[in-house]
Amino acid sequence: MNAAKSRISFLGLVFLLLASIFSCSNKKSDGAIATETDQPEEEVQLKIVDGGIVTLKLDLEANFQLLQQLRGINLNNKDLVTFYSRNAHAIYLYDAVTGELVKKTEMDKEGPNAVQTQFVFSYFYHTMDSIFFNGLPFGIYLIDSNGEVLQKKKLGNKDEIPRFDSPKPNFDFASTYNNGEISLPTEFILYQVKSKERVIFDFENDRLEDEFLASELIFSDYDEVKRVKTERSKQGKLTMNNKRFFSKNDQYLFASHLISDTIYAFRDGELVKRIYAGVPDIEVADYASYANVRSIERFKNGMQAIENPKQDPQFKNTLMSPDGKFIYRVLYHETKPKIVEGSDRPKPEVTGATLIVLDLETEELIYYDLPVAELELGIPMNRHVFVTNRGIHFRVLDQDNEDEVQFRLFQLNR
């Protein structure tokens, strides 16, 4: 009898233990008593948020009205923003988070250490103490952070005073120095039609080398573009250049242009893939309509460019984050005529613009309607915008204090 009771008690104990385990398992699956380590990680949905204002303090030599060659960079794992001032003939470098001036690189205008420039120019940082400066048309300079000229190259031009048709070097966001070579856009190399978009400049040997990346690879309507240009040229009309956008990370060279909703990815000059980077319900301008966004008015002693107050949708900026993970695009899709004080001609005013962010890892697109009434959105060019690893920065509209300039940051919630 006692043995039977013992067997019953043991079986009862086993039953209670199993019931307890089953009960705990059910509670845990319902999330009632699950520990923090047991909970699955939730995937964060990327979205664009307002990151507030970044203020840069300016000295008296900085040009408040125009911060030339404004761009975000990252050196030594630090987000920085840089621009050039023609008044000071200096490159300014700021901390993009605090707004504090990190370095002002002043260059001589005359003398044996002069860095000469005349027309359109550009520059990029290779390191904090190695800056390549395009002194168009006099040559390309390598200077240090104190403005000392380390090397000067003239692209093979032997003339003391460069000829009008001499090569015109230019840097863009895909120009980097690697193994003695710099990749350049061909846009300003010579005053002739080019069928290739990039060229290699052998800096050490001072010569232009291989051209690569055929134009028709980034223009789906390449034949139409050539036809429109030819017809307008015969009619004596201004032919608007379709601005190209290039950027580069460790994997690809990316290319697009003002009226393309596609990003083209290249490796070793070969097209690898196309990535859609537009707004599905907005159709960008074709080249025939884009060619009419500006006209030339001739008068007795000269001429002036006139902006068409009605502008079809076009991408004004396509910029990559310095870490190579995201591409930011600014699409103008609505404009209206606006009469500006002192002028009897209406000019285009942006009334609708969308920020598009392309995640290069997932190829996901994130959209954000920009507050156009609060931002400076330039026409024909949107110069006062830059991208850091934090996000994209737009100059705040209607600033009067010339001692500083404010930028509004839009960042990803990552």
Whole-number Å distance between alpha carbons of 217 and 203: 27
On whether residue 399 sits in a domain, the answer given is: no
- Which of 173, 197, 217 marks a domain boundary? 217
Q: What is the pLDDT of residues 96-135, one digit of tens each?
A: 999 999 999 999 999 999 998 876 679 999 999 999 999 8
Examine the pLDDT at 13 and tell me if it is beyond 60: no
**Residue that finishes a domain, picked among 217, 244, 263:** 217
Q: Model pTM?
A: 0.85
Q: Which of these, 103, 152, 162, lies nearest to 127 by C-alpha position? A: 103
Q: pLDDT band for position 7 (50/70/90)?
A: very low
The pLDDT tens digits of the residues spanning 47-93 come to 999 999 999 999 999 999 999 999 999 999 999 999 999 999 999 99
Dist CA 356 CA 77 (whole Å): 25
Pairing of strands 48-57, 130-135: unpaired
| 3-state class (DSSP) for residue 289 | helix
Quote the number of domains for the chain. Answer: 2
Residues 284 and 307 in one domain: yes
Domain match, 211 and 333 both = no
The predicted-structure confidence for 300-332, as pLDDT tens digits, reads as follows 777 777 888 889 999 999 999 999 999 999 999
Predicted confidence (pLDDT) per residue in 131-181, tens digit: 999 987 788 999 999 999 999 998 766 555 555 455 566 899 999 999 999
Q: Are residue 351 and residue 227 in the same domain, yes or no? A: yes
Q: Over the stretch 180-212, which tens digit does the pLDDT of each residue have?
A: 999 999 875 543 455 789 989 999 999 888 889
Identify the three-state secondary structure at position 323: coil
Choose the final residue of a domain: 217, 250, 270: 217
Distance CA 236, CA 165 (A): 22
210 and 224 housed in the same domain: no
Amino acid identity, position 255: A
Range list of β-strands (E), 78-195: 78-85, 90-95, 101-106, 122-127, 130-135, 139-143, 149-153, 177-178, 181-185
pLDDT of residue 194: 57
- Are 209 and 295 in the same domain? no
Task: Mark whether 377 and 300 lie in a shared domain.
Answer: yes
Q: 256: number of CA atoms within 13 Å, CB side?
A: 27
Query: Is the domain of 365 the same as that of 226?
Result: yes
Residue 45 predicted with pLDDT over 90: no
Residue 177's SS3 state is strand
DSSP-based three-state secondary structure for 230: helix
pLDDT at 9: 44
Mean pLDDT, the chain, whole residue set: 85
pLDDT over 90, % of the chain: 59
Residue 84: inside a domain, yes or no?
A: no
Range of the domain at 150: 107-217
Whether residues 111 and 175 fall in one domain: yes
Per-residue HEC secondary structure of 300-337 comes to: CCEEEEEECCCCCCEEEEEEECCCCCEEEEEEEEEEEE
Instruction: Tell me the pLDDT tens digit for each residue of 361-414.
Output: 999 999 999 999 999 999 989 999 999 999 999 999 999 889 999 999 999 987
